[in-house]
Amino acid sequence: MAFEGLAQRLQGTLQKIKGKGKISEADVKEMMREVRFALIEADVNLKVVKEFVKTVSERAVGQDVMKSLTPGQQVVKIVKDELTNLMGGEQNPIQFARKSPTVIMMVGLQGAGKTTTTGKLATVLRKRHNKKPLLVAADVYRPAAIQQLETLGKQLTMPVFSLGTDVSPVEIARQAIAEAEKEHHDVVIIDTAGRLHVDENLMQELKDIRELSKPDEVFLVVDAMTGQDAVNVAKSFDEAIGITGVVLTKLDGDTRGGAALSIRSVTQKPIKFVGMGEKMDALEPFHPERMASRILGMGDVMSLIEKAQENVDEEKAKELEQKFRTQTFTLDDFLDQLQQVKKMGPLDEILKMMPGMNKIKGLENAQVDESQMGRVEAVIRSMTIAERTTPEIINANRRKRIAKGSGTSIQEVNRLLKQFEDMKKMVKQMTNMQQKGKKKMKMPGFDSLFR
C-alpha cells in the first residue's frame, strides 16, 4: 500500500513518448495527470496542485528531449525543480530581537507537537546560538500540559515559567517577559494551548498574547501528516495572528508531507524547522529540495549522506582504508564497522532514505533484523584476540566454544566466518581496482547484513 513514487507513476505514459524529439502538449497533459495524482496522494492541497500543474505544464511543453535525460526524467526534474522553488530558496534563520529578550510564540492545533517542539527549539537555541531561553507554560486548558513542559524543562535543565492553570495565558505571558528581563534570559518561548482555527474565542486569546508580547517570531506548528485541511488551518492562523514561520513536526514518520507545500503556497511564510524524532535534539533546519524529493517519493539521499558523514569517524575510516590496502583487515575491524553503521541509526530508517528502496517489492515492510547484528557482535566478542586476527586457526573445537560463549549455534559461527572470508576476497578485488584510481570503498560488509 506504500505510495508509488512519481517516477514510477510516469512509467506507462513514458513508454509512448520514448524516442520522440520533443515533448508535445498531449504528452505533457497525460503526464501531468499522473503528477496531479502523485501530489494529491502526497496530501498536497488540490487547489495548490492545480496551480502547480499549470506552471509546470507551461515549462514542459516544447522542451527538447535532452540527450542525457529521458523525457520522463526531464519532466520529473522540472517538477522537482519547480517544487523546490515553491518551497522557498534560501534558509531562513531565526529573527532575534535587537533588544533582549527575543519572544517566540508557538501556536497550532491540538496534538501538532507544540510542547515537544518548544523543548527542541530551546535546545537548538542553547546549543547553536548560545542563548539562555525561558520556557513559558501558557497552556492552561489541556490537563497536565504544564507538567509536560515542566518535565521537559527538568530533562533539559532549563527554567520553566508557570503560574498554574488559574491565571489567564495573556497574564502569564506578561509576567514571563518581565521575569525574563529580570533574570537576563535572552529568549522567551511561549507554549500556547492547542486550538481549533475556527474557535473564535481562543483565537482572540492568541491575538491578545501577540498584542501584548510583541513576538519576534510566531511559529505555526503543523503535523506533517495533515491532509487537505492544512490550507484552512494555515490560512486561518496566519490571517488571525500573522505567523512568521512554520515548524513541520513528525516528519520522521512515513508521510510524504505534501502539507508543507500547501502551507507554503497559501501563507508564503517560510518553513523554518522540521521535527525528526522524539529526542530533544531532533529538530533540523528545513531543506526545500529534500522535501521536494520526499513529496515525489524519490528518497532522501542528501540526509543519508549527511547522516553518514556525521557519524562515521574519519580517523577510523582512514585507518581502515590502510588496512584494506595492506590486507590486514581483521574480525575486530569488522566489528568496528558494524558499530559505525549502527551509529547512523535504525537500519530500516536508513534503508527508507535510499532512493529506489521503497519501490522494491516486499521491502516496504521489510525490517532489517538488528538483532542479527547483535548476534554477529556476540560471536566476534566470544573469540580470543588470536582468533580475531587470524580466523584461520578457528577449528571445530573453537567453533563449538565460540557458539556456546555467544549463545548462538555453530552454523551461525560458520556463516559469519564464511561471510568474512567472502568480504575479504571482495575487498581484495576492490583495493586492486582502487590502485587504478577508482573511488574509495567504504563500509564493506554492509550488504551482507541484508539478506
Partner 1 sequence: MTFFKKLKEKITGTNETVTEKFKDGLSKTRNSFTSKVNDLVARFREVDEEFFEELEELLLQADVGVETVMELVDQLRWEVQRKNIKNTEGIQSVISEKLVEIYKAGEELDTELNMQDDLTVILMVGVNGVGKTTTIGKLAARLKEEGKTVMLAAGDTFRAGAIDQLVVWGDRVGVEVIRQSEGSDPAAVMYDAIRAAKSRKVDVLICDTAGRLQNKVNLMNELEKVHRVIGKEIEGAPHEVLLALDATTGQNALIQAQTFKEATNVTGIVLTKLDGTAKGGIVLAIRNKLKIPVKFVGLGEGMDDLQPFDPEKYVYGLFAEGLEKEAE
Contact footprint for partner 1 (CB under 8 A): 1-3, 37, 40-43, 45-46, 109-113, 115, 141-152, 155, 196-198, 223, 225-230, 232-233, 250, 252-256, 258-259, 278, 346, 348-349, 352, 367
CB closer to partner 1 out of 186 and 229: 229
Count the Cβ atoms, other than its own, within 10 Å of residue 355: 15
CB closer to partner 1 out of 88 and 227: 227
CB 144 → partner 1: shortest distance, Å? Answer: 4
Strands 187-192 and 217-223, bridge-based pairing:
unpaired
CB closer to partner 1 out of 212 and 368: 368
CB closer to partner 1 out of 367 and 384: 367
CB 349 → partner 1: shortest distance, Å? Answer: 8
CB closer to partner 1 out of 321 and 348: 348
DSSP string, 383-428: S-HHHHH-GGG--HHHHHHHHHHHTS-HHHHHHHHHHHHHHHHHHH
450: Cβ contacts below 8 Å, ≥ 6 apart: 351, 368
223: Cβ contacts below 8 Å, ≥ 6 apart: 109, 111, 112, 113, 249, 250, 259
CB closer to partner 1 out of 142 and 375: 142
CB closer to partner 1 out of 1 and 396: 1
CB 151 → partner 1: shortest distance, Å? Answer: 4
CA distances (Å), origin 99, targets 149, 187, 217, 268: 26, 10, 14, 27
CB closer to partner 1 out of 14 and 193: 193
CA distances (Å), origin 291, targets 34, 264, 271, 282, 349: 19, 12, 11, 17, 16
Q: At what angle do helices 331-343 and 314-326 cross, to 10 degrees?
A: 150
CB 423 → partner 1: shortest distance, Å? Answer: 26
CB closer to partner 1 out of 12 and 111: 111
CB 95 → partner 1: shortest distance, Å? Answer: 27
CB 23 → partner 1: shortest distance, Å? Answer: 24
CB 145 → partner 1: shortest distance, Å? Answer: 7
Helix (H) or strand (E) run with residue 105 in it: strand 102-108
CB 67 → partner 1: shortest distance, Å? Answer: 34
How would you list the strands of the sheet with 271-275, edge to edge? 160-161, 133-138, 187-192, 102-108, 217-223, 245-249, 271-275, 283-285
Distance CA 68, CA 54 (A): 26
CA distances (Å), origin 429, targets 350, 388, 425, 435: 27, 22, 6, 10
Distance CA 258, CA 6 (A): 13
CB 29 → partner 1: shortest distance, Å? Answer: 15
